Amino acid sequence: MFKWTPLELFASDNLLVAVRYSIVAQDGEHIVESQGNHTFLTDTVNKNLADIVESDIVQWLEKDTTIDGVNPIKSNLEEQLMKLKLADTLAITKVDFPWLVGTFTI
């Protein structure tokens, strides 16, 4: 349901310090995405930069961003997915911007 993707890495003295990431949540036809930056806690990263693989970064992101068993980043995406599902049940549809209606385009 969730897919973390590291987008950029930031290091100091051969140690990973921070990451810019994307996280995507999907539930059926609904997809929501968020991007962010995370600076790792002091003892989280336990490998030299050259030895790190993508799954390490995902595991460290999960660990660092989960507080008391709850990951607020994932919780926000889950809430957005729930609202999209609710919109389906209420027959809410996407509409054009009102200020663009009747605008001539080529």
Q: How many CB atoms lie within 10 A of CB 49?
A: 14
- pLDDT over threshold 80, residue 101: no
Question: Phi, psi at residue 10, to the nearest 5°?
Answer: -130, 125
CB under 8 Å to 62, separation ≥6 — which residues?
Answer: 4, 71
Are the beta carbons of 85 and 27 closer than 8 angstroms? yes
Model confidence over 16-67: pLDDT tens digits? 999 999 999 999 889 999 999 999 999 999 999 999 999 999 999 999 999 9
Are the beta carbons of 25 and 32 closer than 8 angstroms? yes
Counting residues of the chain whose pLDDT is more than 70, the rounded percentage is 95
What pLDDT sits at residue 12?
A: 94
Residue type, position 38, single letter:
H
